[in-house]
Structure 1
Amino acid sequence: MTRIAFYGSSLLSSYWNGAATYYRGLIRQLARLGYEVTFYEPNVYERQKHRDICPPNWCKVVVYDGTKAALKEVAAMAREADVVVKASGVGFEDDALMDHVLAAARPGALRIYWDVDAPATLAELRADADHPLYRQLKEVDVVLTYGGGKPVVQGYRAFGARECVPIYNALDPETHYPVRPEIRFRSDLAFLGNRLPDREARVDEFFFKPASMLPNQTFLLGGSGWDDKPRGENVRYMGHVSTRYHNAFNATPKAVLNINRASMAENGFSPATRVFEAAGAGACLITDAWAGIELFLKEGEEVLVARDGKDVAEILVRLDPVEAEAIGRRARARILRDHTYTHRAAEVDRIISRHVRPPRVEAAE
């Protein structure tokens, strides 16, 4: 059995951690392929106080204190793994963690850097000639990314990566699926996302602007950090929404809005987890425009695309519930066919199998 040591932000909590469902979907499916995964996550940002799930039976989770001593202790455990993964955005001493993990990995182990925000990372590399990742990439065998397509692959290769492969977000049908609507999530348009510096201006444009243009329609905002954001009377703020309520959040409104962060939108080919979660719940999805969306959903039939806030308002005015339901139904069928974590885990398995010998043992069904 191939053992993976995975160092990431959090598997147990989505609090200030948009990658949670990405990690869960991939690791659950890798476990089904026979991998033994241990996920190491720091106890920071009060994530452990806002757990969405209990430690699962398909992955061992080690939570360590946010101290340098604890970091060194868990990094040393990398020596026991056949595959060592350091994800970006862990949130505590990322550069030091990367160095310690790479140093601890035994000879012959596959060393992976998994970037869940590749466009932003590449921008940092371009701006900082002394960035630690320049040095660290020389010790990494494979770079996997949250998405990004050819622009990200070309960018990483230009900075010295031996191999770079996008592993896109996807749907876990066991966790995101249609449910009965809940009154508390009833609205014409709902958006779920944390307040981040490179997203806020786009949220102003794609969410708050149409809300101001359509005072007779109702808007629902979920996510952390928006408490003091000025908003109209037709905008209701819910705060952090646990992943256990995402299905109802997506299934209840007439439409659900996806807004990419600026770096993701500019790069393209980077569908957010929300795209697949919403489609999995059968939601009618409105998304901001970004290059590559046609690889995942067909515009006008499976997703509605807005270039600005005015487009969002116009879409809402003409969108009736029957059409919205049909769009959501077609989106769900497309995602189930082509974009589940079963598909993504198979890609990761092929990459690992090229590097790790002897071949892994298949898990019994």
Structure 2
Amino acid sequence: MKNKKLKIAFFGSSLVSAYWNGAATYYRGMVRALHARGHQVTFYEPDAYQRQEHRDIPDPDWAKVVVYPATEEAVYKVLEKATDADLVVKASGVGVFDELLEAEVLKLQTPERMVVFWDVDAPATLDRVQHNPQDPFRPLIPQYDLILTYGGGDPVVQAYEALGARQCVPIYNALDTATHFPLEPNPRFTCDLAFLGNRLPDREARVEQFFLNVAAQLPGNKFIIGGSGWGDKPMSSNINYIGHVYTQDHNAFNCTPKAVLNISRESMARYGFSPATRVFEAAGAAACIITDYWEGIDFFFQPDTEILVARDGEEVAQIMAELTDEKAKAIGQAAYRKVLAAHTYDHRADQLEKLLYTKIAKRPEELV
């Protein structure tokens, strides 16, 4: 099985829709890069949360997409289909029947078939499990051949290993160069500072601090907020709320404003080493990025030259007051060069492929 091209069964939230599904571009980047290396991915996603009605892309030619009804019976049917795979991946946050899937995929383990848990929100998962000794996922962690995470660095690795994980490896998100790239500016997105992100409980207070309050302090500047759920949120008159932004509009959204703002979810910022996918998307469009502070930023981008860092809303306001168009353009171009050199999904797929082949080669010894 060493170095053979793998048939991969992937259970995730959605590959074809980014609606209430922040992991979509991460999945697309990884799956497309694995396909380019000759691996075959079948992506199993439930028909849930109106995602199919809000598709960003048709079924791609680089993966087989199987949409199944959000019923227990349908879950068992797709699990049966996954028995022809060499590798089974269960991602976190599928959205329906997660507990069932997390337990049942482990029954697909054989000496020839690895089963991997891929956590696209490790800080939230770890917080949940650590605070509830009865969490049904907790005893399953040591049974997976491998835990992959969307980020988190050493804190996440150590936390998973303390819970009995055989091995935990971060596969950081990155730039999908086929999807995100510089474009001509679009007047629809013209503003001084833009933010894109869904309204989520552990992000909302940080959005107030780093974006909404800043806009209120700078009435002479124009701001845009995109994402789902903000419609009834009080905000100053210089903020334009534009609702859900489809993937096809992300490039224009990122490269048109003077700067774009990244605001981490509270748990991601606390663990560190968890850059949002949108940081790489924005860098891929040569955007000038302002990010809230989190440990590990300089592992990805050089502060002040490739990215601007703010520890609170006051620092965002100060950065905006001093940011010239020339400086913003220079920072965006530097970020673009860095992301192409070190942070594409081809880089991540290379890391993952080497990891899987090493794991496969050692597996007979582990099973003895």
TM class, shorter-chain normalised?
over 0.9
Matched, 1:209 2:213: yes
Q: 2 CA distance for matches of 1:354 and 1:318?
A: 49
Matched, 1:243 2:244: no
Q: 2 CA distance for matches of 1:82 and 1:122?
A: 28
Q: 1 CA distance for matches of 2:55 and 2:257?
A: 25
Superposed, 1:128-147 pairs within 5 Å as 128-147=132-151
Partner of 1:13: 17
Partner of 1:77: 81
- Quick one: which of 27, 32, 46 aligns to 1:28? 32
Matched, 1:350 2:354: yes
Partner of 2:366: none
Q: Deviations over 1:280-321 (max 9, x none)?
A: 000000000000000000000000000101110110011011
Partner of 1:225: 229
**AA at the equivalent of 1:295:** F
Partner of 1:192: 196
Partner of 2:159: 155
Question: Could you list the runs of 5+ residues in structure 2 that have no partner in the other structure?
Answer: 363-368
Q: 2 CA distance for matches of 1:2 and 1:169?
A: 21
Q: 2 CA distance for matches of 1:104 and 1:78?
A: 8
Q: 2 CA distance for matches of 1:134 and 1:341?
A: 30
Matched, 1:179 2:183: yes
Matched, 1:51 2:71: no
> RCO greater where, 1 or 2, for CA within 8 Å and sep 6 or more?
1
Q: Deviations over 1:309-348 (max 9, x none)?
A: 1110110011011110000000000110011000000111
Partner of 1:334: 338
Alignment size in residue pairs: 358
**AA at the equivalent of 2:259:** A
Matched, 1:126 2:130: yes
Quote the RMSD (CA, aligned, Å).
1.1
Percent identity of paired positions between Structure 1 and Structure 2: 56
Q: 2 CA distance for matches of 1:262 and 1:168?
A: 18
Q: 2 CA distance for matches of 1:144 and 1:32?
A: 20
Q: Deviations over 1:8-49 (max 9, x none)?
A: 000000000000000000110101111110000001000000
Q: Secondary structure at the match of 2:137?
A: helix
Q: 1 CA distance for matches of 2:79 and 2:361?
A: 23
Partner of 1:62: 66
Scaled by the length of structure 1, the TM-score of the pair is: 0.97
Q: 1 CA distance for matches of 2:185 and 2:343?
A: 25
Q: 2 CA distance for matches of 1:355 and 1:77?
A: 24
Q: Deviations over 1:247-271 (max 9, x none)?
A: 0000100000000000000110000
**AA at the equivalent of 1:283:** A
| Maintained 8 Å contact 2:108/2:115 | no
| Maintained 8 Å contact 1:211/1:219 | yes
Superposed, 1:288-307 pairs within 5 Å as 288-307=292-311
| Maintained 8 Å contact 2:120/2:150 | yes
| Maintained 8 Å contact 1:117/1:145 | yes
Partner of 1:255: 259
Q: 1 CA distance for matches of 2:48 and 2:361?
A: 36
Matched, 1:109 2:113: yes
| Maintained 8 Å contact 2:105/2:115 | no
| Maintained 8 Å contact 1:14/1:20 | yes
Partner of 1:86: 90
Shift, 1:357, TM fit: 6.0
Scaled by the length of structure 2, the TM-score of the pair is: 0.96
Q: Secondary structure at the match of 1:356?
A: helix
| Maintained 8 Å contact 1:80/1:106 | no
Q: 2 CA distance for matches of 1:190 and 1:104?
A: 45
Question: Could you list the runs of 5+ residues in structure 1 that have no partner in the other structure?
Answer: 359-365
Shift, 1:138, TM fit: 2.7
Q: Secondary structure at the match of 2:357?
A: helix
Partner of 1:167: 171
